[in-house]
Amino acid sequence: MSGESTTRTRTSTGAGAAGKAGRPAGGRAGHIVSGLAVALGFVLFVGGFGWGVVVYRPYTVPTGSMTPTVAVGAKILAQRIDGSQVRRGDIVVFTDSLWGNIPEVKRVVGVGGDRIVCCDKQGRMTVNGKAIEEPYIKDTSEPASPVGFEATVPKGNLFLMGDNRAESQDSRVRLTDTDNGSVPRSTVQARVDAIAWPLGRMGMIDRTDAFTGLSGGPSQPGPLKWVVSAIVAGVVLIFGGAAYGPVAGTLSRLSRRRKR
């Protein structure tokens, strides 16, 4: 009888230990929550990445005409938009046969109907008689353009200039063209929202308020911040949820050791 009792006790103890060993560390509820976190993270990551692919397109800036805002060779993210959405101050990517039929990156300084003159006595460019303060140009101590010019932008067109006014080959050097150096809105492919490379220059490109006093106002920022937030949140949830089991197991073992 004693041997049988001992056998039962051992069997019971072994079963109990096996039962404890078979339970997931952290408890059933914890593992359900961690699984949901991983699933939600996956949805956010894939959804954010897919959203970004649909809305944004990467480009490489071919020249130094947009320095210091965007350096030559920089990788940029530009929101795919229709030319009708463009406002003064936007940095756009466009392709026009008269400009070499390759993607160009310039800043919009005038839209259809605008009268652009440079420069006034303070060296500023004026649009429809309003002097424009341009903090984004390469050398703010110099006139807005080293060579004076006047142009009226045809309806449905855009007048474009680089921020590096001394070197930029832009609408100013094409004033003898049929459209006074401007390009049709339909040539615009995208609006630049951020610099993706190099690492030291990564970040959003804020909309300028230089043209705020003119009709139309500045454009609204694209959804890039929301796209990035969704991707980052997805990564955090995926790794956080996946790490729950191992972390809970480690903490459980440490707790048992202390009790001993």
* Gap between the Cα atoms of 202 and 75, Å rounded: 9
- CB 163 within 8 Å of CB 135: no
Identify which of 91, 90, 99, 71 has the alpha carbon closest to the alpha carbon of residue 172: 99
Helices assigned H by DSSP within 63-216? none
The full DSSP string for 48-74 is HHHHHHHHEEEEE--SSTTTTTS-TT-
Place of tokens 């079963």: 15
Is 106 marked active-site?
yes
Which residue carries 């970040």 as its tokens? 203
CA end-to-end distance (rounded Å), the chain = 32
- Residue that is written with structure tokens 């110099």 in the block: 142
Six-digit token string for 218: 């500045």
20 is catalytic: no
Catalytic residue among 5, 20, 34, 106: 106
Q: Looking at 12, 34, 65, 219, which residue is catalytic?
A: 65
Looking at the annotation, which residues are catalytic?
65, 106
